[in-house]
Amino acid sequence: MDPEQASRPTPDLAAALLSAVTELGAQMQPARPPRPATLDSSLQRDLGLDSLARVELLARLEQRCAVTLPESAFASADTPRDLLRALVAARARGAMPAVSRPPGPPEATGAERVPPPTEAQTLLDVLDWYAERAPDREHLRVWREDGEEPLSHAALRREAAAVAGGMQAAGVGPGHAVAIMLPTSREYFVSFYGALLAGAVPVPIYPPARPGQIEDHVRRHRAILENALAVMLVTVAQTRVVARLLKAQVPALRRVATVAELADEGGVLRAPRLAGADVAFLQYTSGSTGNPKGVVLTHANLLANLRAMGSVVRPGADEVFVSWLPLYHDMGLIGAWLGSLYFGIRLVVMSPLAFLARPSRWLRAIHEHRATISAGPNFAFELCLRRIEDRELEHVDLSSLRRCFNGAEAVSPATIERFGERFARFGFRPTAMMPVYGLAENALGLTFPPLDRGPRVDRIARGDFMRDGRASPARPDDETALRFVSCGAPLPGHELRIVDESGRELPEREQGRVQFRGPSATSGYFRNAEASRALFVDGWLDSGDLGYVAGGELYLTGRRKDVVIHAGRNVFPDEIEEAVGELPGVRKGRVAVFGSPDPETGTERLVVLAETREADAAAREALRARVVACVADLAGGPPDDVCLAPPQTILKTSSGKVRRAASREVYERQAFGGARRPVAWQMARLAAGALVPELRRGLRRLGAVAYAGYAWGVFGLMAPVVWALVIVLPRHGMRWTLLHRAARAFARACGVPITIEGVDALPSGDRPCLFVANHQSYLDGIVLVAALPRPVRFVAKAEFRSSLVAGLFLRRLGAQFVERFDRERGVADVRHLTALARARVPLFFFPEGTFTRAPGLLPFHTGAFVAAAEAGVPVVPCALRGTRSLLRSDSWFPRRGAVHVSIGPALAPPPSAPDTWSAAMELRDRARDWILRATREPDLSAAPAV
């Protein structure tokens, strides 16, 4: 067949195309009558094919027609006719098998390894650091279908300066917002830093998926441009035709320009003076209309987050990051790009469309560049499982990948397990998978798991969790158990807590609202006082997510906010509900938009549930098409399902707000297919079902308050009596026995079981030893007195010595006081403790010196171990679990719970140590390692320098 004949459309090709389109549409919405497809139907508006559906369609067409379609077919096709032209052209060109090339030797970077700029105050300082010390080193390699384009530090700095000069010449000044609406390209990186060099504030906005939709796309971003007070929009050349329209709609907007235009118009750059407290950029997290929320992130916020993440990830000198993540999203912009820049990592970056069109490109790029780091949301790993065939990965080796972050949306335990199993044959190590949690309000990362551990999945009893929110470990044979993936512990310097609806902090393994604070946290939303006020609660930021903590690690269970994460993009229901409610045929105010889990894709299905009185089938289908078109305009893609329900289906609160969770339950249980019970019966059943849990939650809150009052009452009755008897009893043994029995009685009265393990391993009473334990709560002393069968003398901080009540009580119990702030006095105190240890006095230390509200083991002070090494006596480690949940730091609200005390083996000073100090350090490390394993809490010791 000659090329001219091959390039002609054929009936069989058109028929195969329309058949594939119709078949896919029927599979996506099996309960709906198939939508007739023509060559001129809109893939989005008429046929309801979103981005992921297009990916599946192109894959089927390639397989059926034995061709390889270019990425542009995915990006630009609006109708089946566009796809037909691409198929004809691909047939004429011939199939191009996707074969991975073997990895080559590491490419020269142009300079030796340069340490990260630990003293940098701004992002400009970071770029200047590398532009001066490693100007020719390759910083970026931008993937394109026709090749790869490198970009060095010096080139990025030089080209960004030219663009910055053009911005300043156009009137952009310090603090002005510059919106960047560009695809992943060299121009994106240049324009972002160009805005910073001009003293402006970049505002990343996601670019249009197809050139034909640029005007509609820009219209949808009008609210963001208005809220940001953007004075310039940097975008592709095609948007110049709508510049006049945008200027009329956005009063602050002065210019719509391309990167090339700005570089050509540039003059002498007037370098700004920026500080860490200055705004670095605005990260918008809301939809296109309504009430935009632009997260204010300063240079200090960003650098604090990058350094905290680096202290956990510990990037080395040979790292390569491969990313397809969108640069308008924090995971791609901050995690992939700015993180790579800060730590001097080479970044290979491709567009999201390149990945979506052919997911194997991601894994082949990891192989070809010997990447050590990569990342993606859960749906990306699921897409790889569904779309990549083994033949596409022939000769691919993923063994270089050491850290693979999974975040930005809920992490599915099934997905990560299947991904690890499937791609292990290609060298992927399951321990490289790192489920993480972060949010734009904290710059990016908030919790990370330990390196090289692999994912940790918690199996919990479904009944306890659904009834009371308790994450009780499930029995091994419980087939109904729920599974949640650990997202790790908070980054160094950051904290999180779980609180109930009244704002009280919850103990471990109880679900509640996730709140956080730290140096990366935003100060609020730009020009949105109402949303900013709702974000902060007593100095903590409310994430809007639900979760629980176990072993110091966070397990996310859902979201209180109603944002739907659909294929990695945030979709906000409010604006869609309002717009759909205005359509003729839809009952105004009777629309619910929500996400429904899709186990096949690992993401959420976007569902629109709307009430209508229309009964005619043709009228209902026309209405459904109008709803799809409306949602596609607002959300950037069509919904996965539109359910037209009879009146009185949408459930509302007493104040008239849509109850989305309850409406989702109606959708998922009834599926709106077949015979249904009367709506009144459904509402009564749902109301009854909701009443019981609400009553149970209310009773639990009332019970928690009553228990706290009761515990304090018991303490108030016992404490004065015990204190007085300790003061008057003549002998130390009598005082200890009294206190031991009183502590046990107090625990029993409060319903706190104390489990003791390892008592048999204690040295006999006549053998000298020192005791050390982790510190979790003010209750630790009471618990240890109840648990230990022999008297000890606690070592307390010197501040207690001057207290009339506590000081006198502790002195009568033989407590020893140590100075923490006066160095000379502290040394003398250690000498005194050493003498007591030699005299066989059993001392008890809390070597952390203090305790925190967050789980984790702090670094140990050395005094106890120096005393043990110099006296030649063993150290007995003790591990406490549960007291932190009973009474947290900074809280006086006790909660019911159980306590576990583990007593470890006596650790003798090593005889082979060259000196006393070395022996003390080995004792400290051995004792701390044992306690760390026994407590099962995170290690909060100082992070390694990076």
Q: What share of the chain is helix, strand, coil (3-state, %, to 5)?
A: 45, 20, 40
- pLDDT, residue 563, reads 63
Mean pLDDT, rounded, for 819-835: 71
Q: Which of 140-154, 508-522, 916-930 has the highest mean pLDDT?
A: 508-522
- pLDDT, residue 601, reads 55
- pLDDT, residue 448, reads 96
Tell me: domain 708-935, CATH 3.40.1130.10, correct?
Answer: yes
- The least confident of 299-313, 718-732, 884-898 is 884-898
Using the predicted structure, report yes or no on whether residue 286 has a pLDDT greater than 70: no
pLDDT band at 153 (very low <50, low <70, confident <90, very high): very high
Report the 3 state secondary structure along 574-636.
HHHHHHHHCCCCEEEEEEEEEEEEECCCCEEEEEEEEEECCCCHHHHHHHHHHHHHHHHHHHC
pLDDT band at 218 (very low <50, low <70, confident <90, very high): low
Q: Are 844 and 792 in contact (CB under 8 A)?
A: yes
Which is more confidently placed, 551 or 307? 307
- pLDDT, residue 243, reads 58
| CA atoms of 346 and 114, how far apart (whole Å) | 12
CB atoms near residue 599 (< 10 Å) = 9
Residues 6+ apart with CB under 8 A from 511: 465, 469, 470, 471, 498, 546, 547, 548, 557
pLDDT band at 268 (very low <50, low <70, confident <90, very high): confident
Using the predicted structure, report yes or no on whether residue 645 has a pLDDT greater than 80: yes
- pLDDT, residue 72, reads 66
User: What share of the chain in percent tops pLDDT 70?
Assistant: 84
User: What share of the chain in percent tops pLDDT 90?
Assistant: 36
- The least confident of 15-19, 337-341, 658-662, 838-842 is 658-662
CATH of the structural domain 123-440, one choice from 3.40.50.12780, 3.60.20.10, 3.40.50.1000, 3.40.309.10: 3.40.50.12780
Using the predicted structure, report yes or no on whether residue 295 has a pLDDT greater than 80: yes
- pLDDT, residue 63, reads 74
pLDDT band at 163 (very low <50, low <70, confident <90, very high): very high
- pLDDT, residue 133, reads 92
Which is more confidently placed, 113 or 843? 843
Using the predicted structure, report yes or no on whether residue 330 has a pLDDT greater than 80: yes
**Considering the domain 3-93 in this protein, what is its CATH number?**
1.10.1200.10
- pLDDT, residue 790, reads 83
In 636-678, which residue ranges form alpha helices assigned H by DSSP? 660-670
Using the predicted structure, report yes or no on whether residue 943 has a pLDDT greater than 80: no
| CA atoms of 57 and 74, how far apart (whole Å) | 10
Burial of residue 757 (number of CB atoms within 10 Å: 0-12, 13-18, 19+): middle
pLDDT band at 338 (very low <50, low <70, confident <90, very high): very high
- pLDDT, residue 212, reads 53
Instruction: Give the domain ranges of the chain.
Output: 3-93, 123-440, 468-559, 571-676, 708-935
Question: Which superfamily, per CATH, for 468-559?
Answer: Luciferase; Domain 3 (2.30.38.10)
pLDDT band at 817 (very low <50, low <70, confident <90, very high): confident
Mean pLDDT, rounded, for 274-292: 77
Mean pLDDT, rounded, for 399-422: 91
Cα of 741 vs its chain's centroid, Å: 47
Cα of 516 vs its chain's centroid, Å: 12
- pLDDT, residue 5, reads 44
Which is more confidently placed, 789 or 168? 168
- pLDDT, residue 289, reads 43
Using the predicted structure, report yes or no on whether residue 694 has a pLDDT greater than 70: no
- pLDDT, residue 670, reads 64
Smallest CA-to-CA distance from 210 within 676, 632, 807, 739 is with 632
pLDDT band at 402 (very low <50, low <70, confident <90, very high): very high
Smallest CA-to-CA distance from 369 within 340, 408, 391 is with 340
- pLDDT, residue 901, reads 92
Each residue's pLDDT tens digit, 532-555: 998 999 899 999 888 999 988 999
| CA atoms of 585 and 349, how far apart (whole Å) | 46
In 729-770, which residue ranges form alpha helices assigned H by DSSP? 732-749
| CA atoms of 773 and 877, how far apart (whole Å) | 6
Mean pLDDT, rounded, for 101-114: 55
Each residue's pLDDT tens digit, 574-584: 668 878 888 88
Which is more confidently placed, 889 or 35? 889
Q: What is the pTM of this model?
A: 0.76
Smallest CA-to-CA distance from 323 within 306, 345, 307 is with 345
Q: Say which residue the tokens 């297919």 belong to.
A: 673
123-440 and 571-676, same CATH topology: no
Which is more confidently placed, 797 or 53? 797
Each residue's pLDDT tens digit, 173-198: 999 999 998 989 999 999 999 999 99
**What's the CA angle centered on 253, arms 248 and 254, to 5 degrees?**
100
pLDDT band at 121 (very low <50, low <70, confident <90, very high): very high
| CA atoms of 295 and 298, how far apart (whole Å) | 10
pLDDT band at 830 (very low <50, low <70, confident <90, very high): confident
| CA atoms of 627 and 633, how far apart (whole Å) | 10
Mean pLDDT, rounded, for 803-828: 75
- pLDDT, residue 912, reads 81
- pLDDT, residue 576, reads 80
Q: Are 232 and 172 in contact (CB under 8 A)?
A: yes
Three-state secondary structure call for residue 7: coil
pLDDT band at 823 (very low <50, low <70, confident <90, very high): low
Using the predicted structure, report yes or no on whether residue 655 has a pLDDT greater than 50: no
Residue 231 parent element (H or E): strand 230-235
| CA atoms of 862 and 874, how far apart (whole Å) | 15
- pLDDT, residue 682, reads 47
Using the predicted structure, report yes or no on whether residue 2 has a pLDDT greater than 50: no
- pLDDT, residue 663, reads 79
Phi-psi region of 751 (alpha: psi -120 to 50; beta: other; left: phi over 0): left
Mean pLDDT, rounded, for 501-518: 89
| CA atoms of 282 and 295, how far apart (whole Å) | 5
- The least confident of 92-106, 131-145, 449-463, 641-655 is 92-106
Residue 571 parent element (H or E): strand 569-571
Each residue's pLDDT tens digit, 433-449: 999 999 999 999 999 99
Three-state secondary structure call for residue 507: coil
Each residue's pLDDT tens digit, 614-639: 888 888 888 988 898 888 777 767 88
The single-letter DSSP state of residue 939 is: B
Q: Strands, DSSP E only, in 706-862?
A: 754-757, 770-773, 793-797, 816-818, 843-845
Smallest CA-to-CA distance from 355 within 334, 377, 328 is with 377
- pLDDT, residue 940, reads 78
Q: Say which residue the tokens 């479904």 belong to.
A: 462
Which is more confidently placed, 838 or 322? 322
Mean pLDDT, rounded, for 679-699: 59
**What's the CA angle centered on 804, arms 798 and 809, to 5 degrees?**
75
| CA atoms of 130 and 152, how far apart (whole Å) | 10
Q: Are 740 and 782 in contact (CB under 8 A)?
A: no
Fold of 571-676: GMP Synthetase; Chain A, domain 3 (3.30.300)
What is the residue-averaged pLDDT of the chain? Answer: 83
